[in-house]
Structure 1
Amino acid sequence: MPMKLKPLSEQVIVVTGATSGNGLAIAEQAAKAGAAVVAVARNAEALDALQARLSADGSRVATCVADVSDMVAVERIAAVAIKAFGGFDSWVNNAGTGTYGTLEQVRLEDHRRVFNVNYFGTLHGSLVAARHLRGRGGAIINVGSILGDRAIVQQGPYCATKHAVQALTDTLRMELERERAGISVTLVKPGAIDTPFPEHARNFMDTPPRLPPPLYVPEVVADAVLFACMHPKRTLYAGGGGLLSSAFSQAAPRLADLAMEMVGKTVQQKPGDAGDPTRRDNLYEPRTDAMRGSQHVRARRSSMALQLQKLPTSVVTLGAIGISALALVARATAQRR
Structure 2
Amino acid sequence: MSRVVVVTGASSGIGRAAAHLFAARGDRLVLAARAPDTLAEVRAECGAAGAEAVAVAVPTDVTVPGAVQALADAAVDRFGRIDVWLHTAAVIAYGRFDEVPEEVFEQVVRTDLLGAARVARVALRHFRQRRTGVLILGSSVLGQVTTPYLSGYVTSKWGQRGLARVLRQENRDLPGVHVCLVSPGGVDTPVYRQAASYLGVGGRPPPPLLDPGRVARAVVRCADRPRRDVPVGWANPVLRFGFTVLPGVYDTLVGPLMRRAGLDRRTVSAHDGTVFRPNPAGEAVRGGWRRPARWRRAPAGTSEKPRIA
For normalisation by structure 2, the TM-score amounts to 0.88
- What is the match of residue 192 of structure 1? 186
Displacement of 1:64 after TM fit? 0.8
Which residue does 1:144 correspond to in 2? Answer: 139
| More deviation, 96-105/180-189 | 180-189
Match of 1:309 in 2: none
Is 2:160 aligned against 1:165?
yes
Identify the match of residue 45 of structure 2 among 53, 71, 78. Answer: 53
Gaps of 5+ in 2: 293-309
Counterpart pick for 1:113 among 80, 104, 107: 107
1:42 alignment partner AA: R
Name the counterpart of 1:306: none
The secondary structure found in structure 2 opposite 1:184 is strand
Secondary structure class of the residue paired with 1:215: coil
Partner of residue 202 from structure 1, selected from 190, 196, 202: 196
Q: 1:229 to 1:273 in 2, by over 3 A?
A: farther
Return the alpha-carbon distance in structure 1 between the equivalents of residues 98 and 29 of structure 2: 40
Alignment of 1:1-16 (within 5 A): 10-16=2-8
* AA partner of residue 153 (structure 2): Y
- Could you say which structure has the higher helix fraction? 1
Between the aligned partners of 2:276 and 2:13, the Cα distance in structure 1 is 17
Q: Which amino acid aligns with 1:248?
A: G
Q: Report if aligned partners of 2:23, 2:49 keep a CA contact under 8 Å in 1.
A: no
Q: Which residue does 2:211 correspond to in 1?
A: 217
What's the secondary structure of 1:161's corresponding residue?
helix
Deviation at 1:209, TM superposition (A): 1.5
Match of 1:18 in 2: 10
3-state SS of paired residue (1:63): strand
Ranges in structure 1 where 5+ consecutive residues have no aligned partner? 1-8, 275-279, 299-337
TM-superposed CA distance for 1:70, in Å, is: 2.0
Distance in 2 between the 1:52 and 1:223 partners?
A: 20
Given the alignment, which residue of 33, 38, 44 partners 2:36?
44
Give the whole-Å Cα distance in 2 for the aligned partners of 1:73 and 1:33.
Answer: 28
CA contact (8 A) 2:188 2:290 kept: no
Distance in 2 of aligned mates of 1:243 and 1:194: 20
Residue 30 (str. 1) matches residue 22 (str. 2): yes
Pair 1:97–1:249, CA change in 2 (3 A): same
SS class of match (1:64): strand
1:114-149 residue CA offsets vs partner (Å, 9 max, x unmatched): 111111111000010011111420101111110011
CA offsets, 1:304-327, max 9 Å, x none?
Answer: xxxxxxxxxxxxxxxxxxxxxxxx
Deviation of the 1:296 alpha carbon = 5.6
- For 2:290 and 2:28, the matched residues in 1 are separated by 34
CA contact (8 A) 2:24 2:50 kept: no
Q: CA shift at 1:290, angstroms?
A: 0.6
TM-score by length of 1: 0.80
Matched residue of 2:193: which SS? helix
1: CA distance, partners of 2:277 / 2:101? 17
The aligned counterpart of 1:82 is: 76
RMSD after superposition: 2.0
Q: Which whole-Å CA distance do the structure 2 matches of 1:58 and 1:235 have between them?
A: 29
In 1, distance between residues paired with 2:289 and 2:180? 31
The corresponding residue for 2:97 is: 103
Do the aligned partners of 2:9 and 2:88 also contact (CA within 8 Å) in 1? yes
Distance 1:273 1:236, change over 3 A: farther
The count of corresponding residues between Structure 1 and Structure 2 is 286
Contact residue 192 and residue 242 of structure 1 kept, 8 A:
no
Paired position in structure 1 for 2:302: none
Q: Deviations over 1:286-308 (max 9, x none)?
A: 1021111134657xxxxxxxxxx
Residues 19, 46 of structure 2: 8 Å contact kept = no
Q: 1:82: how far off?
A: 0.8
